[in-house]
Amino acid sequence: MLSAQPFSTLFSRFALVGGLALALGSCSDDPEEAGPLYNISKDGNNVFVLNEGKFQTPNGAVSYFNKGSKTVVDKSIFQTVNQRELGDVVQSMLVVGNQGYIVANNSKKVEVVNLTTFKTIATVKNLEQPRYAVAAGTNKAYITEWVKYGSPGRVSVLDLTTNTVVKTITVGKQPEQIVAVNGKVYVANSGDNNLSVINPATDVVEATITVPDGPSSLVVDKTNTIWVLGAGFTVYDSNPPYAVLSSTPGSLTKVNPTTNTVQSSLAFASNNPSGLRIDGTGAQLFYRYKGAIYRMSTTDLTLPATPLIRRSFSGLDIDPKDNTIYAAVTPSYTTAGKFIRYQGTGAAIDSFEVNIAPNGFVFY
């Protein structure tokens, strides 16, 4: 049976509980007293999953996965820490020391974060369709920008000490991935058939290397050779039903950065190979083609005929620490995606739900 209690006793208890709640709330709302939410060590056990989000909405995100605990610690770590959305179409991320440079393509910006806490440091604004970035030279990063489809793109030179753009360099159409090797910066111009070579000492294009159509992905192997994956071109009729008028095949090309010359090139049977990656040994190449993942050695003289994994993915990367394959799955642009981890044999290990439209991985 319930017994009645004096009003004063009830009031005292409610006041005590309310006071404690208020005190706890006040402490947790003070970031200086509460401390950072995360203290992430650069030990190779952390993976940042890049999620594009839905196009024309600012719900792109970075999910934080810990390999040791095998858990997605936070599906939207930037938003959790900074209490605001990251941006529209999270395209890529560059790591320099303990800082991350997150490229938000359709938001026309780069968010700079402290990777220990994921607290924002700066926002680089007024970029034009930024895509990828690489660090080179003295305290500089180079960011590819499409600017306008069908027109020459550019590379913005970012001063890493001030996080400001100090110069722009005109390159070819639709510049995509970018690498630094042998003291030079190489840009894949996917709307053309060439690479732009930038000298970071002068920040000018000093050479152009002709390659097969549509170069988009670049990696550097253990001998400092550049591998270029070209998607090829497809030309469509401008009128419905938009029939294919012509096309060129995809390609995998080796470039010698010492001489800036093509060493060899392999042609695919059709176009649109994508997502060229290299493992931690610098000797095994991976790419996506015709709804599958393929693997080949850098010493192979022909393209592989048999896929390693028969499934379509929206992103692919290789953990440099243990060569585990990370592959992203996007079921739609309104629901959460996931990533699947695979052994080098192609056998699945496990899978984890992340955010909308995962497209890449950064190992830290």
pLDDT in tens, 172-213: 999 999 999 999 999 999 999 999 999 999 999 999 999 999
Q: What whole-number distance in Å separates Cα of residue 344 and Cα of residue 296?
A: 12
- Give the Cβ contact number of residue 158 at 10 Å: 25
AA identity, residue 124 = V
> Which residues have C-beta within 8 Å of that of residue 253, sequence separation ≥ 6?
211, 212, 215, 227, 228, 229, 230, 262, 264, 265, 266
* Tokens matching residue 319: 């953990």
> Which residues have C-beta within 8 Å of that of residue 179, sequence separation ≥ 6?
134, 185, 186, 218, 219, 220, 226
Q: What whole-number distance in Å separates Cα of residue 342 and Cα of residue 82?
A: 33
Using an 8 Å Cβ cutoff, are 292 and 310 in contact? yes
Using an 8 Å Cβ cutoff, are 250 and 270 in contact? yes
Using an 8 Å Cβ cutoff, are 123 and 109 in contact? yes
Expressed in percent and rounded to 5, the helix, strand and coil fractions of the chain are: 10, 50, 40
pLDDT score at 35: 85
Using an 8 Å Cβ cutoff, are 359 and 52 in contact? yes
pLDDT score at 13: 34
Please provide residue 28's backbone torsions phi and psi, each rounded to the nearest 5 degrees.
-70, -20
Q: What whole-number distance in Å separates Cα of residue 103 and Cα of residue 62?
A: 11
Pairing between β-strand 46-51 and β-strand 261-267 as defined by DSSP bridges: unpaired
AA identity, residue 100 = G
Residues of the chain falling short of pLDDT 70? 1-33
Residue 341, CB half-sphere, CA atoms under 13 Å: how many? 16
* Tokens matching residue 140: 């500089």
Q: What is the DSSP letter of 326?
A: E
pTM to 2 decimal places:
0.90
Cis peptide bond upstream of 307, omega within 30: no
Q: What is the DSSP letter of 221?
A: -
Give the pLDDT confidence of 31-83 residue by residue, as tens digits: 445 789 999 999 999 999 999 999 999 999 999 999 999 999 999 999 999 99
Closest CA to 314 of 362, 274, 270: 274
Q: What whole-number distance in Å separates Cα of residue 251 and Cα of residue 270?
A: 9
